[in-house]
Structure 1
Amino acid sequence: MPGKILITGGSGLIGMRLSEMLIDLGYEVAHLSRSPDKVSTYKTFKWDVKEGYIDENAITYADYIINLAGASVASEKWTDERKKEILNSRTASINLLHRSLRNAEHHVKAFISSSAVGIYGNSGEQLMSEESNSADDFLAEVCKAWESAAWQMRDLNIRTVIMRLGIVLSIKGGALPQIARPVKMMAGAPLGSGKQYMSWVHIDDVCRLFIRAIEDKQFEGVYNAVAPHPVTNKEFTKELAEAMKKPLVLPKVPAFAINLMMGEMSEVILAGQRVSANKVLHTGFTFEYTYVEDALESFYETEKD
C-alpha cells in the first residue's frame, strides 16, 4: 500500500513533476508551504523556516519526507546576502524538520534529500564518484553543509538518502530553457571553453529515482543522480541545436563575458563535473534517458514553433 509523502520545495520544478508521478502511483502527497492558503492541487501544511515554525500535523502525516527546499542558485547575482540565503534556505529547513521529528511521535520511514554535484567543484575530466573528495568553492561548501544537515536524520534512526543532482533537464524551468533561448534565436554557442563537462539528468528519471529511493530499502547514503553519459558543454550545445533544428552560428561565448555578466555566479556555468552514475546503476535502477540526444528530443520533438 503506497504511503503518504511530505515534500518540501514541492512547488519547484522537481517537486511538481514528482508530485504528479507519485499521485499516479497511488501515493498521497502533501507539501510544506509558507502560504498554504494559495490554491494548490495538493494537501498543504504551513511552515515558516525563518520563524522556526512547522505545523505538527505535517510531521504526524508523513510516512516519507522528500526534501527539495532551497533558494535558486542561478536566478540572482551572488551578493553576500544572496549567498547567505542560498546556504540557510537549505540547512535551516532540514534543521527545523529534524527538531520537529525529534520532538514528535512520528512514523517517518525515510528522509530523502537533494544535494548537488557542485560538491565536486570544477573537477575537469576526472570521473567523480560518491567517494571522491569535495571541493572548497562556494557551491561545494553549500553542498557539504546541506548534506551534513541531512545526516542528522540518521541519529533519529531514519533511513537517510542524499541525491546529488546533476543539471536537471526540463523545458518547464531550470537550466535548459536558459541554455535554449539563444539557440532558438540562432545565436547559440558553447560557453567558456566548451570543454567543461555537464552531468545532466532528465527530470522524469530524477523523479523515478526519488520514488525508487522511497520504495527500495537498499537505498541509503549518497547517490549521484546523473544520467550515465555526461557530455561536454560543446557537445550539449550541438545536440540541443540539432534537437531544436537550429544552426549553431557563433563561436564560443568567452569566459570573460560570462564572468562580466554573472560575477561569481558564473562558476555555475564555467565549472564542469564529470560524474559517475555507477552506484545508482548497481542498485538495478534503469534510466529511461541515458543519452543526452534522447533526453533533448523528448522535449523538442513535439514542440511546434
Structure 2
Amino acid sequence: MNEFKNKTAVLTGAGSGFGLECARIGAALGMNLVLVDVQQDALDKVAQELTAAGAAVLAVQVDVSKAAEMDALGVAVQARFGAPHFVFNNAGVGAGGLIWESTAADWEWVLGVNVMGVAHGVRVFTPMMLDAARQDAGYEGHIVNTASMAGLVNAPNMGIYNVSKHAVVSLSETLYQDLALVTDQISASVLCPFFVPTGISQSHRNRPAKEASSAPTRSQMIGQAMSDKAVSSGKVSAEDVARLVFDAVSQRQFYIYSHPKAIGSVQSRLEDIMLARNPTDPFIQKPELGASLRTALKAVD
C-alpha cells in the first residue's frame, strides 16, 4: 500500500500508545478511521480529536477477546465504510511474574486479549478484504499484528506475556504465508516493539472485574515494578513506532522492530535452538540486573 487517502483503517487499542499514534497518522493521510478500544473515555477523547482533525471516524467500544463483539464490529465496519484496507490488531495487555504463579484467570485474560484479540481480528477482517480484492483488481490491503520482542525471546519472570506474544508472532508468520497462497493484493506484518512508553504496563486498569485474580504475588509485584521502570524510561516513542508501521506497510515489510539492536538476543536464542544447547543466560550482558532479580525473588516476606 502506497496510497492511504480515502482508504479505511481499523485500529484496535486506539485509545492510547501505538494505536492512537497510528490513528493520528491515518487522519493526517486522509484515511477513514475505525477506532476500537475497551476504555470508553479514552476512545471518546481520541474520536473527538480526530473528528476535529477532519477524519471520518467510527468509534466502537469492544472487548477484542470476545468473538461476538468482534463479529459485530465487522458488521459495523462493512456497513459504514465497506471492507477495510489496513487492519491494525494492536490491543494488548501486559502481565508478569513466575510462570507457575499465574492463575487460571491470569491466563484467560492475557491470552484472551493478546492472542484471541488478534485471532478474531484476522478471522473477521481477512475474508472481507479478500472479497474486496476479488471484486477490485486495484484493491490493496495490509494487516499488522502487534506482538513484542517478548515474542522472539523468553525473558524470565514474564512467562504468561511471552507465551501470548510468541503466539502472535506464529499467527502472523502463518498469516503472511497463507495470504501469499491465495492473493498478491493483501499482505501482513508483525510489530515487535521493545520497551516503549505506552500504557501497556498499566493494563490492569482495564481488567474486567469478573476476571480479577487474587492478590499479586511477590514475583508479580517485582515484574510490575520492573516493567513500569523499563517502559517509562524508553527512548523510542509510540509516535516513532507508528511511523515505522506505516513505512512497513508501504514497503510490504514483514518484521517491524522498534529497537533493531535488540535482535542480538534473538540471534542467541536461535543459535541455542540450532545447536541444541541450553538457553543462554538472559543477563549475560547485565549480570547485576540478574543478581538483583534473583535476590528480590528469594527474599523472605
1:64 and 2:80 aligned? no
TM-aligned CA deviation for residue 229 of structure 1: 7.8
- Cα deviation digits, residues 236-279 of structure 1 (max 9, x gap): 9xxxxxxxxxxxxxx99932565379xxxxxxxxxxxxxxxxxx
Matches within 5 A, 1:42-191: 42-45=57-60, 47-48=62-63, 49-53=65-69, 54=71, 55=73, 56-58=75-77, 60-73=82-95, 78-101=102-125, 103-104=127-128, 105-106=131-132, 109-118=141-150, 119-122=152-155, 137-154=159-176, 155-156=178-179, 157=183, 158-169=186-197, 173-174=199-200
SS at match of 2:147: strand
TM-aligned CA deviation for residue 44 of structure 1: 1.6
Equivalent residue number for residue 31 of structure 1: 35
1:223 and 2:256 aligned? yes
TM-aligned CA deviation for residue 159 of structure 1: 0.7
Greater percentage in helix: 2
- Partner letter of residue 117 of structure 1? M
Looking at structure 2, the residues matched to 206 and 228 of structure 1 have their Cα atoms a distance apart, in angstroms, of 15
TM-aligned CA deviation for residue 226 of structure 1: 1.3
Looking at structure 1, the residues matched to 40 and 113 of structure 2 have their Cα atoms a distance apart, in angstroms, of 18
- Cα deviation digits, residues 146-197 of structure 1 (max 9, x gap): 2223345332443111111100136xx4569xxxxxxxxxxxxx97xxxxxx
1:211 and 2:237 aligned? no
TM-aligned CA deviation for residue 67 of structure 1: 1.4
Aligned residues: 209
Equivalent residue number for residue 8 of structure 1: 12
254, 260, 263: which one aligns with 2:292: 254
> 1:112 touches 1:161 (CA, 8 Å); kept in 2?
yes
- Partner letter of residue 116 of structure 1? S
- Percent identity between the aligned chains? 13
TM-aligned CA deviation for residue 223 of structure 1: 3.2
Looking at structure 2, the residues matched to 121 and 35 of structure 1 have their Cα atoms a distance apart, in angstroms, of 29
- Cα deviation digits, residues 85-117 of structure 1 (max 9, x gap): 112212212222232235433456110111111
9, 18, 24: which one aligns with 1:20: 24
Looking at structure 1, the residues matched to 293 and 39 of structure 2 have their Cα atoms a distance apart, in angstroms, of 40
Equivalent residue number for residue 129 of structure 1: none
SS at match of 2:66: coil
- Partner letter of residue 52 of structure 1? A
SS at match of 1:5: strand
Name structure 1 gaps, 5 residues minimum: 124-135, 177-189, 192-197, 237-250, 262-305
Distance 1:227 1:95, change over 3 A: closer
TM-score normalised by the chain length of structure 1:
0.55
TM-score normalised by the chain length of structure 2:
0.55
Looking at structure 2, the residues matched to 229 and 140 of structure 1 have their Cα atoms a distance apart, in angstroms, of 16
Distance 1:28 1:116, change over 3 A: same
Looking at structure 1, the residues matched to 39 and 149 of structure 2 have their Cα atoms a distance apart, in angstroms, of 30
TM-aligned CA deviation for residue 140 of structure 1: 3.0
Name structure 2 gaps, 5 residues minimum: 49-56, 134-139, 203-224, 227-232, 264-281
Q: Give the root-mean-square deviation of aligned CA atoms.
A: 4.1
SS at match of 1:43: strand
Greater percentage in strand: 1
- Partner letter of residue 206 of structure 1? V
Moved more, 25-34 or 3-12: 25-34
Looking at structure 2, the residues matched to 85 and 24 of structure 1 have their Cα atoms a distance apart, in angstroms, of 34
Looking at structure 1, the residues matched to 262 and 162 of structure 2 have their Cα atoms a distance apart, in angstroms, of 22
